[in-house]
Amino acid sequence: MSLVKLKNISKIYRNNGLNFPALDGISLDVQKGEFLSIAGPSGSGKTTILNIVGCLDTPSGGTFHLDNNDVGSKNSSQLADIRRHYIGFIFQTFNLIPILSAIENVEFPLILKGGISPRERRKVAAEILAEVGLGDFLHRKPSEMSGGQQQRVAIARALVKKPQLILADEPTANLDSKTGREILDLMTAMNKKTNTTFIFSTHDKMVMEYARRIIMLRDGKIESDEKRG
Amino acid sequence: MLTLAKLAFRNVFRFKRRTFITLSAVSIGLALLIISISLLNGIDKQSISNIINCQTSHIKIFKKGYFDKKDELPLNIRIEDPTPVHEKLAGLKGIRASENRILFGAGLIKDMDELPCLGVAIDVEKDPEIFNIKESLVQGQWLDPKKSQMLVGKDLAKDIGLTVGDRVTVRMVTSSEDEDFSWNALDLEISGIFDSGNPGVDSQRLFIPMAIAREGLSMEKAVTEIVVRLESGDEKFVDRMKKEIGQILVSEGEDLEAFSWKDLAGTFLLISKMKSKNSAMIIMIMLFIASMGIINTMLMAVMERTREIGMLAAMGMKKKEITRLFVLEGSFIGAIGAFLGCFLGGMAGWYLETKGWSIKAMGESLQDLTSAFYPVKEVFYADITFELLLMTFLFGIAIAVLAALYPARKAAKMNPIRALRHI
């Protein structure tokens, strides 16, 4: 059963009365537990797909099912609910809340999700930070951490609510290649351990090596869909 | 433990300098508000107490027709026999004391000059129960009912150079049955000088024992007014007693009328009313400044944190929750600012209530100006109440919430994708 099912998705941006097609008839099935990279040159539609799958944007045409739910029929509040329960995000620029410590940043999605006691929340957050290798940095503020450490916090934050799907938009673009590899190793490990589906976009060959499936985009269309190992 | 409120609270101190400036604007605005309102209230209170304690008491009884002509000080519109009135008043509950008085035009002659004054013949024994002239003696002694003496105010004594023991001539118009009048003069010794704090009284009034004044004025039993002091100065009580006294006077067929201090202090109350309109303006301006500070700070915060707002929305925070986060942040600024403002304003108000605000240093012309409007001189005292502080505090928070609403909605309306792309 597929977790993400895109059928003939198109997205057209309008600007000054002109139409810019960003996606053109994308159909894609992603199974649970996949570790998938969406690759392609800039402007090929990587981010647009991630935004649609992340329920941040709605397609101009086609259908999108997430875990057998038709997402097309949802309003913005319902979409926010889906994001808060099903989807974790990792951003290129980390986007931690600067006034919160590492552990507070990780707790934050659990506050939004609700239904967990503060004590339990803190415990879960501490555990997952230890798993990403930051057990000694629980109370550091983002400004007191390196880029790699911040992205580890972001991964912990995405994972903590046990989402079905984690979306990462160019997660290593702001990191040096060594740190980038460490982050990708961590994502791979977490994918194996928790069986959470990861979809990440990149234009970096090195990053693509980590993916077990690579979707190549060009001009809003799928150019190739390659499964590996 | 992390909560939305805690996050909002920490956001307040994210940019310390800006928050400091906003807090200063809010707290100084509110403190100034408290200071000005408490001063205005204090001046009102002081004025009312000066009017009641030196001039009008709570209630005055006149012969019908006297009220309209009271500024001319007519001696022929008079209460011929006050004794039965006092007897009837004694039967009423809630009256502390009543006293006969005669108000008359007098000229104080010193050397070659004559100064027009307001002569007041008083019941030397009863007067201290009603007015504070005896308490406010600064030199000499209270009057002896049988001696040819008088009391003058400090300002008057200073103006024409009088001291205790001086003898002066007071010229007065005598009362006469027929309309034509004659002059009379009394030689009086100044037994004391008072400083009541009411500029009109201290610079114009001469207090003379009733028996001595009657001789000079050729009035046997008659008086121009009966003043009544009540047990309490509560407004409703005064109004009720004015009615009750009025009814007694009517039922007995006396041709007399009762007036409350409010009827007699009409001009002052008019000014006071105008002033409260002005203070409403002050309030609006202060609150406007405070709210502009908050709106500005919050708009800056929303702009600077655009990407963070996008991230919060991506994580599934709803418009309502984002609005709440920013409104909370604004109301924290409001609450802290209001608390500081109340503290500062309260301290300043308390200082002005105990030590007062002396306008002496600002020169005599200002003093003359203020005495023209207020029966208060030299030192103004604020009247700071817990109610005023509480109202200001709550008002401050309410304004902050309202001011934060617009920036918060702006934040909530952001498109998360565009917000995330914001640099």
- Chain B environment of A107 (Cβ under 8 Å): 2
Contact present, B384 and B272 (Cβ < 8 Å):
no
Output phi, psi for A59, to 5 deg.
-70, 155
Would you say residue B176 has pLDDT above 60? no
A109 touches chain B (CB under 8 A): yes
Tell me if B14 and A51 make a contact (CB, 8 A cut-off): no
B318 with A80: Cβ contact below 8 A: yes
Percentage of chain A modeled with pLDDT above 90: 83
From start to end of B275-410, where are the E strands? 357-358, 379-380
The neighbouring-strand residues paired with A222 are: A217
- pLDDT tens for each residue of B94-121: 899 999 999 999 999 887 788 899 999 9
Parse chain B into domains and list their residue ranges: 4-50+268-421, 59-232
- Give me the pLDDT at residue B328, please: 93
Confidence band, pLDDT 50/70/90 cuts, at residue B175: low
C-alpha distances in angstroms, A60 versus A222, B91, B290?
A: 17, 93, 46
Task: Residue B3: list chain A partners with CB under 8 A.
Answer: 111
Q: A24-46, pLDDT tens digit by residue?
A: 999 999 999 999 999 998 889 99
Per-residue model confidence as pLDDT tens digits over B280-305: 887 888 888 888 888 888 898 899 88
Q: What is the DSSP letter of A133?
A: T
Distance CA B112, CA B109 (A): 7
Average pLDDT over residues A84-104: 93
pLDDT above 70: residue B177: no
Alpha-carbon distance B415 to nearest alpha carbon in chain A (angstroms): 9
Strand residues in B195-300 grouped as ranges (E): 205-209, 225-230, 256-260
Which of B378, B348, B359, B283 minimizes the C-alpha distance to B29? Answer: B283
Tell me what the mean pLDDT of segment A69-94 comes to. 92
What was the ipTM of the complex prediction? Answer: 0.91
Number of A–B residue contacts, CB under 8 Å: 65
- Which pLDDT tens digit goes with each residue over A147-179? 999 999 999 999 999 999 999 999 999 999 999
User: Which residues neighbour A32 within 8 Å (Cβ) at sequence distance 6 or greater?
Assistant: A1, A2, A3, A164, A195, A197
Overall CATH class of domain A2-227: alpha beta
For residue A49, the chain B residues in CB contact (below 8 A) are: none
What is the CB neighbour count within 10 angstroms for residue B248? 18
> What are the tens digits of pLDDT across the range B5-39?
888 888 888 888 888 988 998 899 899 889 988 98
Within 8 A of B313 by CB-CB distance, chain A residues are: 56, 80
B22 has a chain A CB within 8 A of its CB: no
CA-based max dimension of chain B: 100
Query: How high is the pLDDT of residue B417?
Result: 87
B311, B324, B329, B421: best mutation site toward chain A, by most A Cβ within 10 Å?
A: B311
Percent of chain B, pLDDT > 90?
Answer: 43
Residue B84 has pLDDT above 90, yes or no: no
The model's confidence at residue B76, banded by pLDDT at 50, 70 and 90, is confident
Contacts of A113 in chain B (CB under 8 A): 316
Are A57 and B318 within 8 A, CB to CB?
no
pLDDT score, position B224:
93
What pLDDT does B292 receive? 87
Interface check for A118 against chain B (CB to CB < 8 A): the answer is yes
Say how many CA atoms lie within 13 Å of A55 toward its Cβ. Answer: 32
- What pLDDT does B254 receive? 67
Domain ranges of chain A: 2-227
Task: Give the one of B11, B314, B318 whose C-beta lies nearest to A56's C-beta.
Answer: B314
Average pLDDT score over residue span A193-209: 92
Contact A37, A208 (CB under 8 A): yes
How many helices and strands in chain B, by DSSP H and E?
A: 16, 12
| Integer angstrom CA distances of residue A79 from A155, A159, B319, B417 | 22, 19, 12, 14
Q: What confidence tens digit (pLDDT) does each residue in B129-171 have?
A: 999 999 999 999 999 999 999 999 998 998 888 899 999 999 9
Q: Give per-residue pLDDT as tens, B322-341.
A: 999 999 999 999 999 999 99
Mean pLDDT score across all residues of chain B: 88
The pLDDT, as a whole number, for residue A196 is 94
- Bigger pLDDT: B358 vs A196: A196
Output DSSP code: residue B123. Answer: -
Lowest mean pLDDT of A181-195, B80-94, B261-275, B337-351, name the range.
Answer: B261-275
Average pLDDT for chain A? 92
pLDDT confidence bin for B199, thresholds 50/70/90: confident
Number of H helices, E strands in chain A: 7, 10
Which of B309, B298, B301 is CA-nearest to residue B421? B309
Is B311 near chain A, with CB under 8 Å?
Answer: yes
pLDDT at A54 over 70: yes
More confident residue, B180 or B210: B210
How high is the pLDDT of residue B223?
92
- Answer whether B420 touches A (CB < 8 Å): yes
